[in-house]
Amino acid sequence: MKIHEFQAKEILANYNVPIQRGYIVSDANHIEHTISKVQSDFDSDAVVVKAQIHAGGRGKGGGVKFCSTSEKASEAANEILGMNLVTHQTGAKGKLVNQILITEALDIKKEFYFALMYDRAKNADVFIVSTEGGVDIEEVAEKSPEKIIKAWVKEDTYPLADAINSVINTLDLSSYDDAFEIFSNIYECYSKSDCNLLEINPLVLTEDNKIIALDAKVDIDSNALFRQEIIASYHDKSEEDPLELKASEYGLNYIKLDGNVGCMVNGAGLAMATMDIVKHHGGEPANFLDVGGAANVDTIKNGFKIILSDPNVKSILINIFGGIVRCDRVANGVIQAVKELNLNVGVVVRLQGTNAKLAKEILDKSDIDLVSAETIDDAAKKAVGMVL
């Protein structure tokens, strides 16, 4: 689960990690007051206005502005709050800015890149740091990979202290007494908050020699939210695709794509493979949809509702491997759902597994308009054929 910058900074601050301080604003009427509060509370005439959306590249998109005076700050805040921010990560549609963070401005001596994540290959946590901070790290990785340094942490194998010392040496921070404590606090924050990713870009050294998190991006392990009550409350539904949100309420796993062949499949791997074969036959999948292992009338009906909420969809391919759930029951479920929902797009059904033959007979004999197929290949061709 992604959270906003100001929320990530709150978590960091709870672990005594120094952050760039500020206040959040969601109502334009509070802009003036908040600016002066930031100025007086943090003794900073200049302030920074930062759009709070779950996407990177906010600065380049015009969603982060340094303002030397109250007037400029007010102008920037009014412009950014409510704007539709387009960055390389939001897609062309952009994202509506519902909240802005107004912060103190700091005099920066050096900017670093800092991240903590899990390295699957080494089964260890890994610090990733670079002296090239504040810029797109992917660019650094491409142009000068030698400037990105990794240090691993694993019980019994790679001690935390070694990793932190390596980070400190890489960033040339060994003369700063509090550096070790700050990095161990960040690691503690990462571990105890069930973070998949904790990225600070940039982490800065100020002119008055303080190490401060200027930005923060955190991705929390959704499977651990049951024990992270406060963080769970940070969930911002407005950041999610409304269809994906609705699907998750139905207990379905749905991701919207740009094509027009809707896909309904059981199992994540088979769902991806089905999208791929649609593409292979010249079509474009409209979505990823995993209805789960136990495909029944309700999950199929809800699946149809979600797929059909996407106006681009011109045909639907149902690909279910009936294992424990018998195909004849899935077939009856499909027929019932199609009847109840009054579909007006073509539906191709491929059921394989227990009682697959019986299921095909049931589909072929039914009085509703759908096409049955025996193999995925055949099914994909038919579903693509309907939209071409």
Partner 1 sequence: MSILLNKETKILVQGITGSEGLFHSIQMLDYGSNIICGVTPGKGGETVTDNNIPVFNSIAEAREKFEIDASAIFVPPRFAANAILEAIEEKIKLIVCISEGIPISDMKKVKNALDKSDSILIGPNCPGLITAEESKIGITPGFICKKGSIGILSRSGTLTYEAIDQIVNVGLGMTTAIGIGGDPIIGSSMIDILKHFAQDENTKGVVMIGEIGGNMENEAARWIKENFDKPVVSFIAGQTAPKGKRMGHAGAIISEGSETAEAKIEILKECGISVAKTVSEIGETMIKLVGE
Is residue 343 part of the contact set for partner 1 (CB under 8 A)?
Answer: no
User: Which secondary-structure segment (H or E) carries 178?
Assistant: none
Is residue 297 part of the contact set for partner 1 (CB under 8 A)?
Answer: no
User: Which neighbouring-strand residues pair with 316?
Assistant: 262, 347
317 neighbors 380 (Cβ within 8 angstroms) = yes
Residue 107 is classified by DSSP as: -
Minimum Å distance from CB 337 to partner 1?
20
Of the candidate residues 29, 40, 175, 223, the single one contacting partner 1 (CB under 8 A): 223
Could you confirm whether 176 is annotated as catalytic? no
Closest CA to 100 of 53, 135, 51, 65: 51
Tell me which of 5, 104, 113, 132 is the catalytic residue.
113
Q: Who contacts 234 (Cβ-Cβ below 8 Å, separation ≥6)?
A: 1, 3, 4, 7
Minimum Å distance from CB 209 to partner 1?
34
Minimum Å distance from CB 316 to partner 1?
16
Report how far residue 49's alpha carbon sits from residue 51's, in angstroms, rounded to the nearest whole number: 7
Of the candidate residues 253, 312, 336, 366, the single one contacting partner 1 (CB under 8 A): 253
77 vs 351, beta carbon nearer partner 1? 351
Closest CA to 381 of 314, 304, 282, 284: 282
Tell me which of 5, 104, 132, 199 is the catalytic residue.
199
Of the candidate residues 44, 302, 352, 372, the single one contacting partner 1 (CB under 8 A): 352
Of the candidate residues 118, 176, 180, 250, the single one contacting partner 1 (CB under 8 A): 118
Is residue 275 part of the contact set for partner 1 (CB under 8 A)?
Answer: yes
Could you confirm whether 199 is annotated as catalytic? yes
Is residue 372 part of the contact set for partner 1 (CB under 8 A)?
Answer: no
Strand order through the sheet with 315-322: 253-256, 287-290, 261-265, 315-322, 346-353, 371-373
Is residue 293 part of the contact set for partner 1 (CB under 8 A)?
Answer: yes
Stretch that binds partner 1, among 232-240, 321-329, 332-340, 360-368 (CB under 8 A): 321-329
User: Which secondary-structure segment (H or E) carries 7?
Assistant: helix 5-14
Report how far residue 333's alpha carbon sits from residue 266's, in angstroms, rounded to the nearest whole number: 14
29 vs 223, beta carbon nearer partner 1? 223
Minimum Å distance from CB 191 to partner 1?
7
Minimum Å distance from CB 105 to partner 1?
31
Restricted to residues 42-61, the positions that interact with partner 1 (CB under 8 A) are none
Stretch that binds partner 1, among 43-51, 129-137, 303-311, 349-357 (CB under 8 A): 349-357
Of the candidate residues 109, 282, 377, 388, the single one contacting partner 1 (CB under 8 A): 377
Is residue 273 part of the contact set for partner 1 (CB under 8 A)?
Answer: yes
Minimum Å distance from CB 202 to partner 1?
21
178 vs 194, beta carbon nearer partner 1? 194
Helices (H), 266-355: 268-280, 297-308, 327-341
Minimum Å distance from CB 106 to partner 1?
30
Q: How large is the C-alpha radius of gyration of the chain?
A: 26
# binding residues, partner 1 (CB under 8 A): 49
23 vs 158, beta carbon nearer partner 1? 158
Stretch that binds partner 1, among 75-83, 176-184, 208-216, 224-232 (CB under 8 A): 224-232
Where along the sequence are the contacts to partner 1 (CB under 8 A)? 118, 120-121, 123, 125, 154-156, 191, 194, 196, 221, 223-224, 226-227, 253, 255, 257, 265-280, 285, 288, 290, 293, 321-324, 352-354, 375-377
**Residues belonging to the active site:** 113, 199
